[in-house]
Structure 1
Amino acid sequence: MCVEVLMMAVDWAGYGYAALVASGGVIGYVKAGSIPSLAAGLLFGGLAGFGAYQTSQDPQNIWVSLAASGTLAGIMGKRFYNSRKIVPSGLIAGAR
């Protein structure tokens, strides 16, 4: 009898990106009292984390990660273009 062990690759980069986005929202709230930063950080961080989970289960299932990171890159890229401030908009836009 042959026992086959399936090893699934964990999307550590995706989970790290999710943590970066969520912690950025929390930091924005703590430093400036910005509830929209907190909400957006937790929403997009949660979506990125869910996308990392899906990619860990099936490496071909990239659509949630792609949508979350693409949307966030567009929003933060525009903010970076307008403000020229590296933190937080340039950091998040460049992270993905």
Structure 2
Amino acid sequence: MTDIVAYGYAAVVALGGIIGFMKAGSVMSLTAGLLFGGAAAFGAMQTSKNPSNYLIILGTSLLLSCVMGYRFSNSGKFMPAGLVASLR
């Protein structure tokens, strides 16, 4: 069964990186968004094949949530860090 929620999460993360690049010209946002979005998509593929293979999507989600939660606590700005931290 396809893990639609995990694929949606991966798409939101990748799209966030693309939007960050388009709005601010941030290559780091583009790189991180595509890297984490790709890792999340790979994790979604793994959980779609076997629901017991959740470690990749879980690890990606936890790492991204910690990093973005830290950025949100430092900046106090909900977008984009607070939103991404709350997606997990």
Compute the TM-score of the two structures, normalised by the length of structure 1: 0.90
Aligned to 1:4: none
How many equivalent residue pairs?
A: 88
Q: 1:71 aligns with which of 47, 63, 79?
A: 63
Which amino acid is the alignment partner of residue 49 of structure 1? A
Q: 1:50 aligns with which of 42, 53, 64?
A: 42
Counterparts of 1:15-94 in structure 2 under 5 Å? Answer: 15-94=7-86
Distance 1:16 1:92 in 2: 13
Which amino acid is the alignment partner of residue 32 of structure 1? A
Which amino acid is the alignment partner of residue 59 of structure 1? P
User: Percent identity between the aligned chains?
Assistant: 56
Larger radius of gyration: 1
Compute the TM-score of the two structures, normalised by the length of structure 2: 0.98
Distance 1:54 1:21 in 2: 18
Which amino acid is the alignment partner of residue 71 of structure 2? R
Quote how far apart the aligned CAs of 1:84 are.
Answer: 1.0
Which amino acid is the alignment partner of residue 47 of structure 1? A
Superimposed CA distance per residue, residues 4-42 of structure 1 (whole angstroms, 9 cap, x where no aligned partner): xxxxx2110000000000000000000000000000000
